[in-house]
Each structure stands twice: as structure tokens, then as C-alpha cells.
Amino acid sequence: MLNTLKKVFGFQSFRPNQEAIIKNILDKKDVFAVMPTGGGKSLCYQLPARMMTGITVVISPLISLMKDQVDAAIENGMSAAFLNSSLSAQEMSSVYKKLKGNDLELLYISPERFAMPDFLEMLKSIPISLFAIDEAHCVSEWGHDFRPDYLSLCNITRIFPHIPVSAFTATATPKVQKDIINKIRLRSPHIIRASFNRQNLFYQVKSKIGLESQIMEFLKEHADEPGIIYRTTRDSVFRLTEYLVDQGVSALPYHAGLTPEQRNRNQEAFSRDRVTIIVATIAFGMGIDKSNVRFVIHADLPKNIEGYYQETGRAGRDGERANCLLFFGRQDIPKIRYFIDQMPNEKERSISMEKLNKSVTYASHNVCRRRQLLEYFGENYTEENCGACDICLGNVEKVDITVDAQIVMSAMSRTGQYFGTRHIIDVVAGADTKRIRELQHNEIKTYGAGKHKEKNHWQFIVDELLAQEAILQDGGQYPVLILTKKGIEILYGREKIEGLKREEIKKKPKAFKVSGFEPYDEALFDKLRVLRKKIAEDHKVPPYIIFSDMTLHEMCVYFPSVLEEMRAISGVGDTKLERYGADFTNEIKAHLDKNPGILIPDRKPVALSANTPPQKMKGGTIEKTYDLFKEGLSIKEIAKRRNLATSTITGHLETLIRDGRDIEIDRLFDPERRNAIEEMFLALKTWNTGSVVEHSNGTVSYDDAKLVRAFVQQKG
């Protein structure tokens, strides 16, 4: 298993639970797995797909996800395809041919297809190793994205009694879990529930005061990082995008008001790093596996924690650190309440109200954000300090708030515990409102008792009392504050209460426990990112499918400049090493040449499994190119013969030239042209190929520039 993990996916170790899941699958047991977004569910069925005989059939709900997953599998050297309504008849029949020829390891299908009798007949005639049901919560009507077509999967174990079935989801309350297992009729499945703790996410809440400039301030600190900004309404999405674009930020909108084509285009631009930021309503996110989302901002209060967790979960799937920032303003509460009030069903209304209250609690309480989230999902979080949220990193000071608490609770008590937060604060602060005059609340003893302090101080007191359950909020639509037993003890002076006064964090949060590639060479990272994007454009796939941010970061720590070193980097499997290894080692080598001061840290040699002798890989691919070049083939011909991109072959030749091998440069360029390119390097006083390409007005390609550069540098 470990061997396949490294060879195919390039990873040295499993993420939590992956190994157990895969073992059970290989034992032909049914599996039900709940893992958070970014937990690495795909690998749990893709790795067995490689190891088992027969085809692994993956059922997946969205066309865009299927396509990206298939592309990613192919980039890892797997043989994969999908069948859905987006294919032409011709593409369809080519997939069928591969299926019948037993030429596929992975087949992705939509649930609708599983309901088609002809298709089922075909499936019965081919060897299948495993059914993997992704986003399995779609089968449950109790979940949030029930998909009626998933119900066709209810027959799966009846039709294919001898084939193991695995179901994967990131969201399953116990009720949904039971429902999924029953509906799909999993046979005493091995059940795995992973922790929902996403260690690489930094959670933070800020008061919303001047949202636009607050966002700009954040973006300045996070320039060039891809991120999602969620807003509640189409209109606010539209306006924020316009504002950001005016400020020179690369941003596009996404909401249900755009045409499907526009939505697809904007989503793709984001996924392919052509635009940095997407401003979106919560309509955005389900169809995207982009692993290098570096932040998720909620510019408005989310209406419940489930949604908030799911949306923030889209950050940092690659395991590298990412930020989750929520701007909290109380003015957002009535807006959500308005929508809740429109709900026809009384019970749903009160459930929604309760969820909204939890969301407010999350944002306003001085309790570790991570602990709050995990406890919300029923996990017991025992760390004293999570090290990666604003509360745990902030300067928190304990203060006695007994006197102020008594003022608030006295106002509550004297008005009969019939009023909500806002009115109670008005009474305490001595506000002169119509309502107060009508109710003659200006005549009670506590009226104005707190007018020497600001209203938001009294809000803080109310929040603390709620958090510590000295008071509670009751009543769905217009909740009122009531005293609890604990509150009464405090009011009568028999108990004291302390609050946590928090200062905004000023220092930049220290690196918290993530993959640990900090610091890395940022200048090199930028170069590698550009290279990754260029290769991705050539291959028409999203950049994160070529290499994840984590993989690039690791390269920027260890500077692998030969293939053997590149091979040790996490995320570099055999296929990617062959396809892109040389491109990246060349870029790194050039960077090292330009910056001779760089110290390369030692690393422990990666344990290679006994049955993959390293010599076999070592330079093998470059040697093949060399042999073919020596046979007299041109770059184009070699590329065609080896089914590799011409840029890859150029990379090989570049390496060969640098290694002083016998490459007849005149076969690649006529001398005049070569001299002209050399002159450009000299005139521009740079080894930067980009400058030469630009300067040449398109007459010199990157590949040409690289080869000449290697030649010129090599000849000294």
C-alpha cells in the first residue's frame, strides 16, 4: 500500500484513517466513511482501484467534480474516464470500448446512469472491483443536498451482491448516517468517523466596521493568494466584486443570478488560477475541488454552523495553512431573522432560529473557535489552546464583571424578563426611545445605571452572561432574556462572575502546526507557481492538479535540482516525475545558479521500498529522450513517440545540455538564430527566459530560450 501511495500519488504517508479504510476495501468489506472536506477521501478508493483487479466504479454527483477527478487521476498515471451527459456520442463510445477492453482502473458515473437498464447490463458483463459512492449524503432526504437520482443506488448491493461498496461523505449527522447505510444496504460495513478538526485552518472573527477597507487590508497581507469571499445576497456580491476590481484586485462574482455559462466560466477561471478571488453567495463551492484555496472570508454572518464549517472547509485542502475570517456585525442578525420569519413551518422556523443563535454565539463568545466548532459537531476537544484561532492567540484578560452583570440582570428582572437584548441594553444605557417612554421603563431603578459605559460594553456583558449560562434567550421569533438559577445567584450577590476581555491580536499569528514548510523561498515559489500554471494551461487542467501548493512549498525548502531529489518530494509520483520533474528541477537549478548563497537543508533520505530499485527511475526518462535524440529524431518526433509534451522533451534536453552531454545544438537551431537569442540574453542582462520571450515579440518561445540559455551557460 505504501509503495503504491508513493509511486502513484507521490505521498510518503497516509492521512488519518486512509489506511484503515483502504485495508477494509482490499479485504472486500463494505465501508462507510465520514471524513471532513480535504480529508483525502478520493485516495481511499483510487489507491485500491490501482491495487485490485477489475474496474472501480465511482458514483459522483457533479459533472465538474467528475472531470477534475478524472484529470487528476490521469495526471497520476492512472487510467480513468467518466460517463455523463456532457460527453458526445463519439467520446461515449470510446469510453465503452475501453471498458469492454478492460482498459480502465477508474470509471466515474453519475447516479442517473446507474438507473439505466442498458448500462447496468453492460456493467454486469465487465469485472468490477469496487463501487465507491462519493458525497453519499446525497442519498438521504434528511441531509442538505438530497438528490433523488441517488435513490437508484438503493439496489446496488442487490444487483451486485459480490462486489464491495464504499460510501464517503463529509457531512453526516447520526440520522443521516443511519439513513445512508440503510438505503444503500451496506452489509455490516466498517464505519469510520474521522475527526473534523482541520489543524491547518486558522479561525478568526473580526467586528465588521468598514467592511470594504477591512477586506482590502486583509488582501494586502495576502496578495496573490487564491481565496473565496462569501456574501449573503447577489447584490452584495455584485457590489463587492465591483469595488475590489476598482481597487485593482483580480476578482470575479458567482451567484445564482448569473447564467450557467457565466457561472461555469467564473468557476473555471478561479479553479485554474486565472482569477485570484471569487466573491460568491453560498451557491458556490460544491462543484470544486481546488486544493489551493488559501482563505475563505465570510463578509456576513452565516445562518448556521453547518454551512459555515462547510464553506470554511474549502480552504486548505492541500493541508497547507489557510485562513478563515468572519466579519461579524450584529446588524446582520435581523436580516437573517427576516428570512427565517418567512418560513411557513413553525418547527423549521424555531430550528433555524436556534441555529442562528449558535452562529451568533460562535462569533461573539470568548471561547476557542475550534473548540466551539468541534463541540457543535459532537466532538470532544481537549486541547487547552488550539494555537490556531484568534481567541487562543489573543491576549485575553480575566476581569470580574459581577457588578455590571448585576446591573443587566436587575434591568431584566425589573422589566419582568419580557424583553430582548436590545431593549435591555437601552434601559441600562439610559436611552431615550419611544418604547422606553411608553413602557415607562425610564422610571425603574436601573434605568441609566450604565450610561457611563458604551453600548458595546453592555453587549459584551450580555454575551458573557449568555455564554456562561447565567441568562438565556428564549422564544423563537422575538427572543427574550431570562435569568437562570446561576444568574439569580449572581444577581443576589451569592456568586461572582468573571469575563474574558480580549484584545485584538496585533502580532501576526505565529506559524501553527501544519505541514511545516515555513519558511520557504518565496521568490522561487512564485517562479514555480508560474511554471505550474503554464503547464496546466498546456494540459488544460487546473494548476493544483499538476502539483499542490504543499508540493511546491516543499520544493522551495529542499530545492531538488536533480530527479532523484525531486522524487523524494511529497506529491511527486512516478508519472509526474516523468512528465514534469525535469521542468521543475531546471527552474530550481536556474534559481540556485542565480542565488549562490542559498543553503540547502539536509533531509532524511526517503525510505524507498525494496521492490522499486531507485536506479531504475534515475534519469531513466531523460536517457530515453537522449537515446531517441541520438537516433536522429526531432523534439516533436520524440514527444510524439513518447506521448509526452514537447515542453517536457525540451526540459530533458536542457538537462542533458547542462550535464555536458553530447547534444548537437545545431540540430536544434541554425547558428544564426541561436546567436540572435544569445544576444538577447546578453543585451537584456538577464537569464530570465520570460524577458527574452517578451523582448522578441513572440519570435522566440520559452522552449527555445531555455535551450539556448542552457547551451550558453554550459559552454561557459
Are 196 and 377 in contact by the 8 Å Cβ rule? The answer is yes
* Residue 289 touching ligand ADP (CB under 6 A): yes
* Residue 548 touching ligand ADP (CB under 6 A): yes
For Mg ion, the binding residues (CB under 5 A) are 41
* Residue 674 touching ligand ADP (CB under 6 A): no
Identify which of 660, 666, 667 has the alpha carbon closest to the alpha carbon of residue 628.
667
Report strand pairing: 498-503 vs 395-400.
Answer: antiparallel
Contact set for Zn ion, span 376-395 (CB under 5 A): 386, 389, 392
With contacts defined by CB under 6 A, name the span among 39-47, 109-117, 432-440, 490-498 that binds ligand ADP. 39-47
3-class secondary structure, 417 = coil
d(CA 166, CA 150): 14
- Gyration radius (Cα) of the chain, Å: 30
Q: What residue 370 binds from Mg ion, Zn ion, ligand ADP, none (CB within 5 to 8 A, per partner kind)?
A: Zn ion
With contacts defined by CB under 6 A, name the span among 41-49, 115-123, 209-217, 387-395 that binds ligand ADP. 41-49
* Residue 455 touching ligand ADP (CB under 6 A): no
- Closer residue to ligand ADP in complex, CB, 22/693: 22
Minimum distance of ligand ADP from residue 1's CB (angstroms): 11
Minimum distance of Mg ion from residue 37's CB (angstroms): 7
* Residue 172 touching Zn ion (CB under 5 A): no
- Closer residue to Zn ion in complex, CB, 389/692: 389
Report strand pairing: 55-59 vs 128-133.
Answer: parallel
Among 80, 368, 405, 408, binds Zn ion (CB under 5 A): 368
Q: What residue 581 binds from Zn ion, ligand ADP, Mg ion, none (CB within 5 to 8 A, per partner kind)?
A: none
* Residue 37 touching ligand ADP (CB under 6 A): yes
DSSP for 66-88, written as a single string: HHHHHHHHHHTT--EEEESTTS-
Minimum distance of Zn ion from residue 391's CB (angstroms): 5
d(CA 536, CA 487): 61
Q: What residue 674 binds from ligand ADP, Mg ion, Zn ion, none (CB within 5 to 8 A, per partner kind)?
A: none
Residue 166 has which C-alpha cell? Answer: 464504499
Are 492 and 413 in contact by the 8 Å Cβ rule? The answer is no
Helix (H) or strand (E) holding 108: strand 106-109
Are 543 and 348 in contact by the 8 Å Cβ rule? The answer is no
* Residue 470 touching Zn ion (CB under 5 A): no
3-class secondary structure, 330 = coil
Q: Helices (H), strands (E): how many in the chain?
A: 35, 17
* Residue 14 touching ligand ADP (CB under 6 A): yes
Instruction: Give the count of alpha carbons within 13 A of 263, CB side only.
Output: 18
Residue 202: partners with Cβ closer than 8 Å, 6 or more residues away: 321, 322, 323, 324, 388, 389, 509, 512
d(CA 637, CA 188): 55
Minimum distance of ligand ADP from residue 306's CB (angstroms): 16
Q: What residue 349 binds from Zn ion, ligand ADP, Mg ion, none (CB within 5 to 8 A, per partner kind)?
A: none
Q: What residue 579 binds from ligand ADP, Zn ion, Mg ion, none (CB within 5 to 8 A, per partner kind)?
A: none
* Residue 201 touching Zn ion (CB under 5 A): no
* Residue 42 touching ligand ADP (CB under 6 A): yes
How many Cβ atoms sit within 10 Å of the Cβ of residue 382?
7
With contacts defined by CB under 6 A, name the span among 47-55, 278-286, 311-319, 694-702 that binds ligand ADP. 311-319
Interaction site with Zn ion (CB under 5 A) = 368, 370, 386, 389, 392
Interaction site with ligand ADP (CB under 6 A) = 11, 14-15, 18, 35, 37-43, 289, 291, 317-319, 548
